[in-house]
Structure 1
């Protein structure tokens, strides 16, 4: 990857005309909201199975913000569900407080989380935000209907167009959507007392206060973990490094939550969830309680983090983009559709 051109410095989408801003969602009330890790801890580490009957989780269920993720997705154009008992959750993230965010640009994260039919494991596939794909026409007909970066779909048609674009690209039917803000890493990590992350190389953050990260296993507090998860420009593979760092932090948080006494202590758990101060929204059909109950036997060791197969980066006109490896991507998502874990892992390694 080191010989490939670097990804674009910002996330501004280069279009011939003005790009409409994505729809804004109502800011949810602080104490009844999860960010991604809080959601993953509850549904993937099994806490919800024990708390599903409790008033606390039910109050969260009632208070969480709901979005119209599927209302504008044409049913006739959606892929059919093959493995009917498996579940595919689209995790959409942004880092609203990223110092690199200027002019309304967003650091988008797109993850297809596949939960197996027997709920014994989950595979989380990150799709780089600059992946060059075909974006369907927006509902107003003014945008899309052409190839573009996958994160253009959000600017053009909000969450429903992202769902439609991901489904068209992967052939995988999305069952639920969760929208999160990665800036919440700081509060989450601090609530856990810090996390341990294996730093891949010595480097200095490009953001103030310009922290120095040393190679090897390091204990990071919330500010350090968030800073680490944002870094990409110092690495030969650019945005792929950022994805890798996010995955490391997610796994470290899950491991710390599972082993640090948080999940077994109702008081600590409540503090932990309420410390995840920034917003998460879910689609209208997603039940946190049902999901938590289904996931009660799953642990972080059963999670596999993958990245969409690519051939590297390049340019299309003035845009720096990521080119998919079509053959490998098809093999991977065909395996996801059929809920074949061995084939998913095999396709990811090729």
Structure 2
């Protein structure tokens, strides 16, 4: 009996200590604790198009995440930045801002000159590898916007398809009819995804966010589709039946992501963040507008159609990302 009491006492201590450690770990993972000190991966420059020559210091529990979608295909080691979204997280106000940056935006690439944003990553990947390509894209975007980038996450269409398929399907509020003219899968050519709420699997989600040629406002309409898909993924992931899948999704994140500077604990903490997210009330979406012009491209050594952003509007929008 005495040995049994000793054993139970030891077991109780282990359980209490274990619970304390688990509680401490859980508390440490809470976003307001986890993201108190964040890295800055971008650097500003002194080029003529830079909004700022210094990196503004972010407030505590406030940070920017750059979401990059690459057109890199299986077996390839280089790709263009096909979708670019800057996400601003303010844990103090529980507000989240998203800005889509047009892929054809005219930007400055250190050591080369002016070119399209979509080409920056491709050029630097081809000459310096994956990391060099991502860093160049990050720096060009930070120089363009004048705000720092703290984290980045890059995926491609295969990764996006895998992510959606892991959830099963997602509901997407499609704002207009979308005819597929340049699909990833040839059998989908000519297919129309109708306006309204559509339940889509991973394959059709990738087709939706890739299409632009049939859209009235081309890239601007595609940005809107990409925003609707991100909201659809978030809403589906937050459904009670899917909350139990989030830890598994974190573990499988390497299947969805090409490159990131976020650790699994960073991603897990973000998972806790979105658990209580109201996408309709807490998320604000911005589009960066500009004018399409034929401009000299320092890489192509020729004129190229590029989007020149409205600098006044850009600066005003970026006030929501500081």
> Structure 1 length as normaliser, TM-score?
0.64
Instruction: State whether residues 129 and 150 of structure 1, in contact with CA within 8 Å, keep that contact through their aligned partners in structure 2.
Output: yes
Larger radius of gyration: 2
**What is the correspondence of 1:78-227 to structure 2 with a 5 Å cutoff?**
78-97=54-73, 105-118=79-92, 120-135=94-109, 137=110, 143-144=111-112, 146-154=113-121, 155-156=123-124, 157-206=132-181, 207=183, 208-209=186-187, 210=189, 211-227=191-207
The higher-RCO structure (CA 8 Å, 6+ apart) is 1
Note the residue ranges of structure 2 that are not aligned, 5 or more in a row. 1-21, 30-38, 47-51, 125-131, 297-302
1:239-318 to structure 2, matched below 5 A, reads 239-263=219-243, 265=244, 268-270=245-247, 272-273=249-250, 277-283=255-261, 287-289=266-268, 291-292=270-271, 297-301=276-280, 302-308=282-288, 310-317=289-296, 318=303
Q: How far did residue 72 of structure 1 move? A: 8.1
The whole-number CA distance in structure 2 between the counterparts of 1:261 and 1:290 is 20
Retained in 2: the 8 A contact 1:187–1:275? no
2-structure distance, mates of 1:123, 1:85: 14
- Give 1:320's match in structure 2, choosing from 300, 305, 308: 305
Structure 1 residue 261 displacement after superposition = 1.4
Distance 1:205 1:327, change over 3 A: same
Q: How far apart in 1 are the matches of 2:170 and 2:151?
A: 29
TM-superposed deviation, 1:291 = 4.8
RMSD: 3.7
Relative distance call for 1:235 and 1:313 in structure 2 (3 A) is same
Determine helix, strand or coil for the equivalent of 1:91. Answer: strand
Q: TM-score, normalised by structure 2?
A: 0.69
Helix, strand or coil at the partner of 2:100:
strand
Q: Give the whole-Å Cα distance in 2 for the aligned partners of 1:218 and 1:188.
A: 17
Q: Which one has a larger percent helix, Structure 1 or Structure 2? A: 2
Contiguous gaps of at least 5 residues in structure 1: 1-48, 58-67, 138-142, 338-350
The answer (yes or no) to whether the contact 1:69–1:283 under 8 Å persists in 2 is no
Q: Aligned match of 1:332 in 314, 317, 322? A: 317
Cα distance, 1:158 vs structure 2:
1.9
Q: 1:50 to 1:325 in 2, by over 3 A?
A: farther
